[in-house]
């Protein structure tokens, strides 16, 4: 007499399932597409469990087909089925894994298998992914047969508080593994469309460790994923063409990568990395959100491309980071604040900077192209990440006043210091052409001093907070005293000065002029003084020793509510004929000195024009200029 199989049984879900299922369907997942990702991940887990167990018990997997996941859709029903030939479940496991919310079969398996399961490509952690099926289905049917068992079981529920479980004939069940059938509700019938399935699998599950096939209506099969992940392969086994193809796929780019970073980190935190530095600048590099484009996977399952793993100043990097042990929240859509993600970000950032430094050393021309495209972004790190400043200074390249079109490193600049030079000088401006025309550079050019040309908006911020490089402070050419007196003038420039017939103003006359101009200009300037930073221009404006540089002040003043500009220092070139003539009139006193008062708005306005700005009082400047022209013409 044969043993009678248990009859169908109706059981209620545990843990107030109605409320919990409602939460899963309406709160945990913001994107309904992820239900298929979750079910495929569970199927891959089932195959990985059997693969792991078969290492110690080969007989358990004998006689079966190679591991794979099969998706089958019926548009008429409409329904969607996901089947695997993995470990399968018996009656008690169906009750434990599907009848109890947050009962994770994968977690239980890891605990039971101990070290024997370490390194397997298991995905699930919380045991709730299966319930995401009820977001799109009115009911779900599960047919499962555990590997090595001669029994098969059917589990069915509408997700409203109870489920049924009953034995089925072996002919109705898979030979081994599990088949899940989703009876789709009308609003989600599109999930039975071939195009929809292909899109979701490509986006989320193209790299799970088990091949995925789609069974078409005519009985043929289409392979959606081959069970491989390029980043899991050894670097030696991947061709340049494969890297290029994957770069185009993962980065949405059509150029060739300038740098390919492929490695696996092992230790307390394990993860695989395949990242690319583009060779050309993407159009959205300076978008306000400054979001990165690195895709985060966990055991080859796509999680998000919005994880803040790399700092914003590396947002141009494209590729994949695949974690082995990254803790996630219930839906895997939002990462928990956890030191693991910080450790991954720190480690990957270190590697990117090291590889960029290697490129700069081994192939200066290639690195120059990278810097041309992304240097402005990397310099954001100089401001935002002081702890990374030394590494970024090694990478930083600059255009300079003496370097022509070449990019110069800070080491190059320091190596080219003139005698008695103690600071790295820089000039800020809106663009290189404007900076090159600045009168502030004249005295430095006369002495052959190399000046950094800083035309990116971020330059005004990082250079102010940086203490220096190689023990040499950064100093603006438009701020404070020029301090170039001790640097010798170039021989050619000295020869020009000796041959010139222009006589500079005497110290006494210059003192009289600076006093008179300060009185005439009032609180527009905090000081008027002679300058050693000028060579051919009569005057310029500089910022006080402390406070913002001239360019930074312009940026801050342009912002809404930033207020007005602070008073500046007016510097005069004693050797310029105009200044020398005005100095003589100031020293003469009387009516001659009064002409200095009339010229004061012109000198101040001229200094502003040379600085790339309009006169502060255009009407007054125009009247003074017109009056001067009348006297000259008359």
Residue 392 located in a structural domain: no
What whole-number distance in Å separates Cα of residue 623 and Cα of residue 602?
10
Tell me how many domains the chain contains.
Answer: 4
The enclosing domain of 413 has a CATH number of 3.40.50.11260
139 and 79 within one domain = yes
For residues 4-10, give the mean pLDDT: 71
Residue 384 located in a structural domain: no
More confidently predicted of 627 and 170: 170
Residue 411 pLDDT exceeds 90: yes
Residue-level pLDDT at 538: 93
> In terms of Cα–Cα distance, which of 281, 414, 295, 401 is closest to 348?
295
pLDDT tens track for 441-489: 999 999 999 999 999 989 989 998 888 999 999 999 988 777 788 899 9
Per-residue confidence band for 26, with pLDDT thresholds at 50, 70 and 90 = low
- Hey, what are 368's tokens? 């120059």
What whole-number distance in Å separates Cα of residue 188 and Cα of residue 184?
6
Residue 613 pLDDT exceeds 90: no
Q: Is 305 helix (H, G, I), strand (E, B) or coil?
A: coil
- Looking at 225, 257, 275, which one is the last position of a domain? 225
pLDDT tens track for 87-132: 999 999 998 888 765 555 445 545 555 555 545 555 454 456 788 8
For residue 209, what are the CA distances in angstroms to 69, 122, 303, 331? 10, 10, 15, 21
Cα torsion angle, 213, 218, 220, 222, sign: negative
Q: Is 633 helix (H, G, I), strand (E, B) or coil?
A: helix
473 and 412 within one domain = yes
What whole-number distance in Å separates Cα of residue 454 and Cα of residue 103?
59
Per-residue confidence band for 60, with pLDDT thresholds at 50, 70 and 90 = confident
Mean pLDDT of the chain: 86
Annotated binding site: 38, 42, 84, 89, 97, 104-105, 125-130, 178, 332
548 and 469 within one domain = no
Per-residue confidence band for 580, with pLDDT thresholds at 50, 70 and 90 = very high
133 and 96 within one domain = yes
- Hey, what are 451's tokens? 């000046």
Per-residue confidence band for 238, with pLDDT thresholds at 50, 70 and 90 = very high
- Hey, what are 85's tokens? 């030939």
Residue 379 located in a structural domain: no
193 and 71 within one domain = yes
Annotated binding site for ATP: 38, 42, 84, 89, 97, 104-105, 125-130, 178, 332
Q: Under 8 Å CB-to-CB from 145, ≥6 apart: which residues?
A: 88, 151, 152, 153, 170, 173, 174, 175, 176, 177, 178
HEC per residue, 504-528: CCCHHHHHHHHHHHHHHHHHHEEEE
Q: What b/e string do you get for 426-465 counting C-beta neighbours within 10 Å, with b at 16 or more? A: bbbbeeeebbeebbbbbbbbbbbbbbbbbbebbbbbbbbe
Residue-level pLDDT at 6: 62
171 and 284 within one domain = no
Strand extents, DSSP E, 237-290: 257-265, 271-278
Minimum mean pLDDT range among 47-51, 541-545, 602-606: 541-545
Per-residue confidence band for 498, with pLDDT thresholds at 50, 70 and 90 = confident
- Looking at 225, 253, 288, which one is the last position of a domain? 225
Give the gyration radius of the chain's Cα atoms: 36
DSSP 469: B
Residue 299 located in a structural domain: yes
Domain of 85 in residue numbering reads as 9-225
Residue 332 pLDDT exceeds 70: no
68 and 148 within one domain = yes
HEC per residue, 1-13: CCCCCCCCEEEEC
241 and 293 within one domain = yes
- Hey, what are 548's tokens? 């913002």
Q: Is 539 helix (H, G, I), strand (E, B) or coil?
A: strand
Residue-level pLDDT at 565: 62
Is the Cβ–Cβ distance between 350 and 265 less than 8 Å? no
> In terms of Cα–Cα distance, which of 579, 432, 465 is closest to 514?
579
Residue 406 pLDDT exceeds 90: yes
Residue 373 located in a structural domain: no
Residue 486 located in a structural domain: yes
- Looking at 208, 225, 242, which one is the last position of a domain? 225
194 and 124 within one domain = yes
The enclosing domain of 197 has a CATH number of 3.30.565.10
More confidently predicted of 30 and 410: 410
463 and 533 within one domain = no
For residues 143-150, give the mean pLDDT: 93
What whole-number distance in Å separates Cα of residue 478 and Cα of residue 613?
14
> In terms of Cα–Cα distance, which of 543, 412, 417 is closest to 482?
543
DSSP 26: I
The enclosing domain of 550 has a CATH number of 1.20.120.790
Residue-level pLDDT at 626: 82
Per-residue confidence band for 330, with pLDDT thresholds at 50, 70 and 90 = very low
Residue-level pLDDT at 560: 52
pLDDT tens track for 283-295: 777 765 667 779 9
Is the Cβ–Cβ distance between 272 and 247 less than 8 Å? no
The enclosing domain of 284 has a CATH number of 3.30.230.80
Q: What b/e string do you get for 314-339 counting C-beta neighbours within 10 Å, with b at 16 or more? A: bbbbbbbbbbbebebebbbeebeeee
* Geometric angle at alpha carbon 528, from 524 and 529, rounded to 5°: 160
pLDDT tens track for 189-207: 999 999 999 999 988 898 8
Q: Say how many residues make up the chain.
A: 634
For residues 216-240, give the mean pLDDT: 91
563 and 469 within one domain = no
Residue 438 located in a structural domain: yes
485 and 468 within one domain = yes
Give the long-range contacts of residues 490-498, CB within 8 A, separation 24 or more.
Answer: 490/446, 490/447, 490/448, 493/446, 493/447, 493/535, 497/575
What whole-number distance in Å separates Cα of residue 318 and Cα of residue 324?
20
Strand extents, DSSP E, 34-192: 69-74, 79-84, 137-145, 152-157, 162-168, 177-184
Kindly report the backbone phi and psi dihedral angles of residue 238, in degrees, each rounded to the nearest multiple of 5, phi listed first.
Answer: -105, 130
Residue 598 located in a structural domain: yes
More confidently predicted of 283 and 330: 283
Residue-level pLDDT at 142: 97
- Hey, what are 178's tokens? 């599990």
Residue-level pLDDT at 92: 92
Residue-level pLDDT at 22: 67
pTM recorded for the entire structure: 0.78
pLDDT tens track for 258-280: 999 999 999 889 999 999 999 88
For residues 416-427, give the mean pLDDT: 95
């Amino acid at each position: 007499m044969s043993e009678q199989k248990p009859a169908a049984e109706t059981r209620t879900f545990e843990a107030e399932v109605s409320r919990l299922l409602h939460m899963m369907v309406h709160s945990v997942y913001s994107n309904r597409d992820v239900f298929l990702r979750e079910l495929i991940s569970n199927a891959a887990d089932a195959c990985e469990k059997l693969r792991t167990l078969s290492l110690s018990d080969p007989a358990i997997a004998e006689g079966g087909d190679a591991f794979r996941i099969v998706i089958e859709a019926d548009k008429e029903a409409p329904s969607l089925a996901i089947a695997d030939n993995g470990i399968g479940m018996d009656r008690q496991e169906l009750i434990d894994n599907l009848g109890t919310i947050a009962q994770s079969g994968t977690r239980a398996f890891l605990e039971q298998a101990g070290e024997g399961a370490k390194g397997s490509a298991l995905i699930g952690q919380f045991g709730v992914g299966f319930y995401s099926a009820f977001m799109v289905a009115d009911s779900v049917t599960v047919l499962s047969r555990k590997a090595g068992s001669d029994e098969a079981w059917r589990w069915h529920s509408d997700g409203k508080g109870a489920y049924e479980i009953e034995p089925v004939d072996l002919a109705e069940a898979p030979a081994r593994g599990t088949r899940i059938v989703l009876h789709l509700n009308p609003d989600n019938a599109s999930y039975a469309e071939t195009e929809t399935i292909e899109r979701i699998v490509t986006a989320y599950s193209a790299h799970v460790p088990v091949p995925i096939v789609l069974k078409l209506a005519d009985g043929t099969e289409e392979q959606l994923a081959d069970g491989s992940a390029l980043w899991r392969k050894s670097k030696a086994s991947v061709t340049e063409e494969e890297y290029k193809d994957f770069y185009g796929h993962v980065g949405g780019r059509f150029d060739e990568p300038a740098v390919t970073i492929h490695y696996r980190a092992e230790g307390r935190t394990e993860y695989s990395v395949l990242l690319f530095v583009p060779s050309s600048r993407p159009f959205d590099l300076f978008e306000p959100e400054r979001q990165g484009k690195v895709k985060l996977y966990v055991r080859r399952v796509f999680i998000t491309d919005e994880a803040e793993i790399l700092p914003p100043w590396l947002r141009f990097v494209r590729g994949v980071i695949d974690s082995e042990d990254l803790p996630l929240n219930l839906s895997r859509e939002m990462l928990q604040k956890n030191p693991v993600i910080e450790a991954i970000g720190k480690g990957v950032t270190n590697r990117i900077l090291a590889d960029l430094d290697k490129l700069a050393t081994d192939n200066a021309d290639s690195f120059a192209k990278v810097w041309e495209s992304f240097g402005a972004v990397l310099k954001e790190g100089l401001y935002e990440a002081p702890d990374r400043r030394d590494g970024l200074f090694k990478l930083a390249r600059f255009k300079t006043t003496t370097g022509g079109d070449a990019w110069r490193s800070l080491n190059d600049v320091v190596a080219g210091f003139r005698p008695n030079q103690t600071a790295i000088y820089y000039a800020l401006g809106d663009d290189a052409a404007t900076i090159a025309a600045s009168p502030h550079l004249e005295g430095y050019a006369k002495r052959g001093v190399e000046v950094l040309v800083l035309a990116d908006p971020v330059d005004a911020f990082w250079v102010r907070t940086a203490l220096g490089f190689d023990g040499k402070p950064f100093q603006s050419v438009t701020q404070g005293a020029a301090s170039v007196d001790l640097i010798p003038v170039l021989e050619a420039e000295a020869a020009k000065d000796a041959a010139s017939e222009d006589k500079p103003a005497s110290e006494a006359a210059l003192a009289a002029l600076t006093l008179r101009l300060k009185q005439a200009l009032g609180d527009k300037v905090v000081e008027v003084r002679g300058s050693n930073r000028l060579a051919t221009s009569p005057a310029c404006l500089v910022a006080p020793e402390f406070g913002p540089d001239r360019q930074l002040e312009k940026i801050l003043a342009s912002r809404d509510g930033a207020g007005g500009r602070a008073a500046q220092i007016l510097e005069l070139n004693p050797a310029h004929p105009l200044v020398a003539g005005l100095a003589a009139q100031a020293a003469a006193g009387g009516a001659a000195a009064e002409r200095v008062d009339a010229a004061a708005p012109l000198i101040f306005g001229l200094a502003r024009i040379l600085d790339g700005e309009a006169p502060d009082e255009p009407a007054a400047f125009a009247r003074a200029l017109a009056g001067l022209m009348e006297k000259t013409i008359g």
